[in-house]
Structure 1
Amino acid sequence: MPKPDTLLAHAGRAPEAYSGMVNTPVFRTSTVIHPTIESYEAPRDLAKKPVSYGRHGTPTTFAFEEAVAQLEGAHQAVATPNGLSAIVVALLAVLKPGQHLLVTDSAYSPARGFCDRRLVPLGIEVEYYDPLIGAGIADLLRDNTGAVFCESPGSLTFEMQDIPAIAAAAHARGIPVLADNTWVTPYLASPFELGIDISIHAGTKYIGGHSDLMIGVVSTNERYWKPVRQTVYDYAYSVSPDDCYQALRGLRTLGVRLRQHERNALQVARWLQAQPEVSRVLYPALESDPGHALWKRDYRGASGLFSVVLKPVDDAALTRFVNGLQLFGIGSSWGGFESLVTVVHAASYRTATRWQPEGPAVRLHIGLEDPADLIADLRQALDLLHAGKAASHG
């Protein structure tokens, strides 16, 4: 099997099929013409990805999906319109009314919203569990447990989950394990070797890499491929071939970008650890992080997203700090070339565990800027914690 960097360059490409073109062309279509009425009316296995109608996918779509599947070691993958839709598809593919779902308490907040507002009225019981539970999840499994949903690390509080231990317990009861792997990307882990059955990504983030794309992708092992593919069809999800082309182009440079994101993030995170205003940095790639051993065991690297717990300050000081940053945009998402900051409000939704940091927390995405400039920007903004006047955001 080729190494990940080689797969990034070659997976999903077939120049010989397209007059020698290096990149799979963009196929824009709704209607696909069939040569005979017999071929038009012939039964089709959607799991085999026939080119039969635009909504079902085009060669551009399939090239992107093939590249992700090869990179993750999956049986197959399917694109969806965004990361949340990928979570929705994965859960609906394996759950039915009357079942019980276990969800990590550190899960992406919109995923929790879907579970609480949509799955519960369908007759699915949703239970949140401590992300640090590991093999102890066996005590929560029931005869009607339909799935275990993981996210490692959590996208706000960055707890690393012991996925192999969770998977071993779940598989002993015939229960599938799903995981949101957006932080680690398809490049930095082999999720199916860790025991995951369905791997989920917001390709909007590092796969796209340029903050200009909305796309999700679900990859599966052989057992769960047909249910996932059928669910995408039944819910009428469709992704523009232009977006698939953009995602595939982003995938080609994923390795080099992630190496720079990690290098920059480690430099900034280590600097932040030494600052008097900082209590701790939540980043599994740091040797001091509680999840570092699991990160080192299971992953090949880290992305550029982490949180910082400040020492206690009031809301006005926190506002001065965030608004005072000049190189960090205030905005949702992450994974693009630019640095971002948001305030962490995890305490507002945790139910199985308590999130009580000693001070306010912010989440930083460290982009591709020079880390010395980012550090200088953070230093001047930290100084504003002690100031009595507001600063405008640049």
Structure 2
Amino acid sequence: MHPQDPSPDLSTQLIHHPYRPPEDFAAPQAGVFKASTVFFPNAAAMRNREWKHKTGYTYGLHGTPTSYLLEERLATLEGGLQTLLAPSGLAAIALVSLSLLGQGDEVLLPDNVYGPSKALAAGELKAWGITHQFYDPMDPGDLARRLTDRTRLVWLEAAGSVTLEFPDLPELLRVCRAVPNLVVALDNTWGAGLAFNAFDMAPGRGVDLSVHALTKYPSGGGDVLMGSVITRDEALHLRLKDTHMRLGLGVGMNDVEAVLRGLPSLALRYAAHDRAARELARWCLDRPEFSQVLHPALEGAPGHAHWKALCGGKTSVADAGQLPGKAAGLFSVMFDTPYGSAQVDAFCDALRLFKLGYSWGGPVSLVVPYELDGMRERWPAYLERGTLVRFSVGLEAVEDLQADLAQALNCLA
């Protein structure tokens, strides 16, 4: 039978159906292209097509039109040039460390870094002969003292995980730039590409890599796991991309679609989370149960001046009013020492709208109690003693969330 003759078999006809829809279709949302196998027109194309520069398609793991689109939009969001997608924020962090570090190297992490980053350093990296140190993120001098000729990678995080102190990022970068061939990576999930530009924090001083848990604000629905690594340096991007390929770090196109749908409303949602979190944090300042309220936009909070210098020049617009600067929808409280962990747990259990759950950036408000003693190398002097609770403020009415906090605190009495 001639290849162009229709087969009498219905299955073959359906699989190799000749119809192709017209290409001039335009709509608000991009199409979702899912594939593992990608077809080539001929053997020459199969031999010559390359996947590193988005000039064509070779295999679904290396991208489809859908993932290429998200990568380009994320690069625009964060002020970078190239993006890699990973199955989660933690996978993006691991990609950076596994690509840039080898036996005998050392990585420095802030003591307030995202907990799984510490676990990765103490687990796999240590087992592979890669050492690590934790530096005080609020003391650039401590970072400078820990840098050695073995240091290859320094992680920054702003604001700090759980305790939300805001470091002097430009000064930390100045310290790092005094060391040749040192790569600086920032966990930029809190800033979401909106609060500040990680690549232009000061004249001549920006990070080499911005890592973002797209699970949080870009998704916005609490139903997607994804991460990104964004760079401006082509050679660094290609080094990461080789590791990305060898590790097989693919993402599902339906998840990519969900993040693409979330991006147009990102700035509006971020502003709404920000406004509600600041209002609730200010309300908590007047509650006697709390010895400290941690939010970088509050006067007197650890690192407030650094936040104001970097993020305070922008305006966050929400509803009819304006807020100075930009900040995420997170804040933490330190329960005064008379309240033990059992009482703090009872407070969390009594909340009705705030749900006990990890992550943040979705529509539902979340709460998590933490025991900091087991999370830090040293207890920072700027933190009161007590039991800490972190709130992620969702998109519920702020009056309802405030009433929920009040009724749960009344349960303690």
Give the alignment partner of residue 348 of structure 2, picking from 322, 328, 333: 322
**Alignment root-mean-square deviation, CA:** 1.7
Which amino acid is 1:33 matched to? Answer: F
**Counterpart for residue 11 of structure 2:** none
How far apart are residue 18 of structure 1 and its match?
5.7
Q: CA–CA distance in 1 between the matches of 2:23 and 2:157?
A: 38
Q: What is the Cα deviation at residue 196 of structure 1?
A: 1.0
Query: Quick one: which amino acid aligns to residue 396 of structure 2?
Result: E
Name which of structure 1's ranges 255-264 and 345-354 shifts more when overlaid on structure 2. Answer: 345-354
Alignment partner, residue 236 of structure 2: 224
Secondary structure at the residue paired with 1:193? coil
Question: Which has the larger Rg?
Answer: 2
Partner secondary structure for residue 199 of structure 2:
helix
**1:43 Cα offset (Å):** 5.8
Residues 43/59 of structure 1: CA separation in 2 closer, same or farther (3 Å cut): closer
Q: Note the residue ranges of structure 1 that are not aligned, 5 or more in a row.
A: 1-15, 387-394
Matches within 5 A, 1:277-292: 277-292=289-304
Q: 2:372–2:388: 8 Å Cα contact kept in structure 1? A: no
Aligned residues: 371
Other-structure match for 2:25: 19
Match 2:115 to one of 92, 102, 109: 109
The equivalences for 1:234-253 within 5 A come to 234-253=246-265
Opposite residue 231 of structure 2, the aligned amino acid is: T
In the aligned structure 1, how far is the partner of 2:379 from the partner of 2:178? 26
Instruction: Specify which of 368, 375, 387 is matched with residue 360 of structure 1.
Output: 387
* CA deviation after TM superposition for structure 1 residue 135, in Å: 5.0
Structure 2 counterpart SS, 1:280? strand
Kindly report which structure 2 residues correspond to 1:1-394, keeping only aligned pairs within 5 A, or say none: 19-42=25-48, 44-48=50-54, 50-134=56-140, 136-174=142-180, 175-194=182-201, 195-222=206-233, 223-299=235-311, 300=314, 301-312=326-337, 313-351=339-377, 353-354=379-380, 357-386=384-413
TM-superposed deviation, 1:50? 3.4
Q: What SS does the aligned partner of 2:309 have?
A: helix
Distance (Å, rounded) in 1 between the aligned partners of 2:274 and 2:72: 26
- Name the CA distance, whole Å, in 2 between partners of 1:291 and 1:58: 42
Look up the match of 1:13.
none
Give 1:270 shift.
Answer: 0.2
Q: Distance in 2 between matches of 1:306 and 1:76?
A: 32
Give the Cα–Cα distance (whole angstroms) in 2 for the partners of residues 140 and 18 of structure 1. 58
Runs of at least 4 residues of structure 1 off by over 3 A?
47-50, 352-357
In 1, are the aligned partners of 2:285 and 2:292 still within 8 Å (CA)? Answer: yes
1:75/1:225 contact within 8 Å kept: no
Aligned-residue offset at 1:353: 4.9
Query: How far, CA to CA, are the matches of 1:100 and 1:316 in structure 2?
Result: 39
- Report if aligned partners of 2:216, 2:222 keep a CA contact under 8 Å in 1: yes
CA distance in structure 2 between the aligned counterparts of 1:131 and 1:170, rounded to whole angstroms = 13
Deviation of 1:159 after TM superposition, in Å, equals: 1.7
Secondary structure of the residue aligned to 2:132 is strand
Aligned AA for 1:151? E
Structure 1 length-normalised TM: 0.90
Deviation at 1:21, TM superposition (A): 2.8
Q: Residue 45 of structure 1: CA displacement?
A: 4.9
Flag structure 2 segments of 5+ consecutive residues without an equivalent.
1-21, 315-325
Residue 351 of structure 1 and its aligned partner are, at CA, apart by: 1.6
Q: State the distance in 2 between where 1:45 and 1:179 align.
A: 27
Q: Secondary structure at the match of 2:200?
A: helix
Sequence identity (%): 37
Moved more, 93-102 or 356-365: 356-365
What secondary structure is seen at the aligned counterpart in 2 of 1:318?
A: helix
> 1:205–1:335: 8 Å Cα contact kept in structure 2?
yes
| Other structure's SS at 1:46 match | coil
2:156 alignment partner, SS class: strand
Alpha-carbon deviation of 1:282? 0.6
C-alpha deviations, 1:106-153, integer Å up to 9, x for none?
Answer: 011111111110111111111111111225422221112101011111
Contact 1:49 1:62 in 2 (8 A): no
